[in-house]
Structure 1
Amino acid sequence: MERLSLRDGAARSLRQQIVSGALRSGSLYSIGDIAQQLGTSPTPIREALLELENDGLVELVRNRGFRIREISRADIKEIHAIRVMLEVPAIEALAAMDPVPDLSDAEALCRRCARAAEMNDIIGFLAFDRDFHLALIAKLGNRRLTDTIGTLRDQTRLYGLHNFGEGGLTGSTDEHLALLEAVRRRDPATAGALLRHHLDHVVGDWAGHAVPADLPVT
């Protein structure tokens, strides 16, 4: 159990550093250095990296360490299209549920996002933002769907955080609140439209440009 906790903790920390840009795409890192930074042995780091490699976030380099995978604008377009196909119908299905599921965990994560935004804590915000969206999807009870969306979200963020400053954090928090309210009042059409808008502009913020106009509309 302790080994599993160490691996999970290392994976979460590495994931946060990757998506925040603290670990840069294309750069090579030493497993020993990362283990020292996190105050653990190399073994849970290696185990965590196997998970992240499977998720398409890192590439293990034999006898040298690991490299953060690079992602292109074409990759962003493909991932965005898949996310829209999966996440928009999922949130619409959630908003159609009767009775409305318990949203207290998502509400708590939304508040944590807001506090992180107020402090301009990008790393904290990213962690709570990811957990917020996945907490909503998890209400559908489809673990594979939740895991797939989580992986796609992380891959999107490999592109960078060029324009995601303080204003972007606050804007995303406002959209979280609106999305929660649409789900709470069982309004699938509004929930789907809000999430589609959220995905379009947030992915553009990651990449430093608007989402390309030639993306398919679903």
Structure 2
Amino acid sequence: MPGSGAVTRNTLRRQIADALRDEVLAGRLPAGREFTVKQIAEQYEVSATPVREALVDLSAQGLLESVEHRGFRVKVFTVEDFRGMIEARKLVADGIFRLLVERGTGPGCGERLVSVRRRAEEAQRAAESGSLEVLIGYDLRFWRELGELLGNVYISEFLHRIRVQCWVFAVPHLQREPQLRTRLWYGHTRLLDAVTRGDAEAARLLVQEYNQSGLDWAAQLQDAGAVPGSGPGSGPKVRPGAGRGVRSGVRPEA
């Protein structure tokens, strides 16, 4: 079939990009790690073209940086970067939830709300148990699906990108936390309840609480002189998975 080669390559490109993004989110490809197209292509046993395209996609998303004559590097986010992400996230999220409460979830959203609630419950359960990798996957899906109820894909995609970057910064620091559960936010179901019943003030306070906890943590990291990229998994070997069919633990099932 004409064009089937391009379709296959694009699918492989997305699979590789998704797998590498999950490895970065899980901290197995830590900040500052460098690798080449050839290394990733050999790891996945695929040609260089879809790998190069996947790495360019991740660079466009702000997760990788191109290193001249050396390949790519996982971007190092500073505490100041993290604080800026939260400020941007706060502005966008405040607008999203204000509109959601004002407009209501609307007709035809019943099935979508069931899905969002499932993500909320799983994310909250993972946070309460300190299961970081599981939490990341469900948390990203929760916020993305909740934002999509607004019906504006540009807003939800923008917020999703910021949230991914926040997790990339946070993971290596959280992995060193002796009391991990005290650092995780688990108000997902409370927030969804507030949105569902149209309680604008409760939704605003929960989002404010969530973002303020991030800013407070950023201040503590700043005071402690936190160094990005020094967490678990920062050794020299690139291990983005065992092949093209690998599924990362940070990706929840649909």
Tell me the TM-score normalized by structure 1: 0.81
Contact 1:19 1:160 in 2 (8 A): no
Give the aligned partner of residue 92 of structure 2.
86
Q: Mean alpha-carbon deviation: is it higher for 61-70 or for 112-121?
A: 112-121
Contact 2:83 2:215 in 1 (8 A): no
Give the aligned partner of residue 228 of structure 2.
none
Residue deviations 1:151-195 (CA, integer Å, cap 9, x gap): 2112223323323665158x53x3001111111111112112111
Number of positions where the alignment pairs a residue of Structure 1 with one of Structure 2:
209
Distance 1:50 1:96, change over 3 A: same
Give the aligned partner of residue 122 of structure 2.
112
Distance 1:99 1:158, change over 3 A: closer
Give the aligned partner of residue 22 of structure 2.
16
1:25 partner SS? coil
Q: Could you say which structure has the higher helix fraction?
A: 1
Match of 2:34 among 5, 28, 49: 28
Give the aligned partner of residue 58 of structure 1.
64
Contact 2:64 2:72 in 1 (8 A): yes
Give the aligned partner of residue 152 of structure 2.
142
Distance 1:76 1:63, change over 3 A: same
Match of 2:194 among 168, 177, 182: 182
Distance 1:189 1:96, change over 3 A: same
Q: What amino acid is aligned across from residue 47 of structure 1 in structure 2?
A: E
Distance 1:208 1:157, change over 3 A: farther
Q: What amino acid is aligned across from residue 220 of structure 2 in structure 1?
A: H
Give the aligned partner of residue 215 of structure 1.
none
Give the aligned partner of residue 220 of structure 2.
209
1:204 and 1:68 map into 2 onto residues whose CA distance is 26
Residue deviations 1:114-149 (CA, integer Å, cap 9, x gap): 454477542332122111101111111111111111
Q: Mean alpha-carbon deviation: is it higher for 143-152 or for 98-107?
A: 98-107
2:117 and 2:50 map into 1 onto residues whose CA distance is 32
Contact 1:89 1:192 in 2 (8 A): no
Residue deviations 1:82-136 (CA, integer Å, cap 9, x gap): 1111112212211232354331221122233245447754233212211110111
2:150 partner SS? coil
Contact 1:156 1:203 in 2 (8 A): no
Give the aligned partner of residue 200 of structure 1.
212
Give the aligned partner of residue 170 of structure 2.
160
2:219 and 2:17 map into 1 onto residues whose CA distance is 27
Distance 1:40 1:113, change over 3 A: farther
Distance 1:36 1:92, change over 3 A: farther
Contact 1:11 1:52 in 2 (8 A): yes
Q: What amino acid is aligned across from residue 187 of structure 1 in structure 2?
A: D
Q: Unaligned regions of 5+ residues in structure 2, if any?
A: 1-6, 224-254
2:220 partner SS? coil
1:150 and 1:126 map into 2 onto residues whose CA distance is 12
Q: Mean alpha-carbon deviation: is it higher for 153-162 or for 188-197?
A: 153-162
Look at both structures and tell me which one has the larger radius of gyration over its CA atoms: 2
Q: Mean alpha-carbon deviation: is it higher for 119-128 or for 102-111?
A: 119-128
Distance 1:110 1:42, change over 3 A: farther
Give the aligned partner of residue 216 of structure 1.
none
Give the number of the structure with larger relative contact order, counting CA–CA contacts within 8 Å between residues 6 or more apart.
Answer: 2
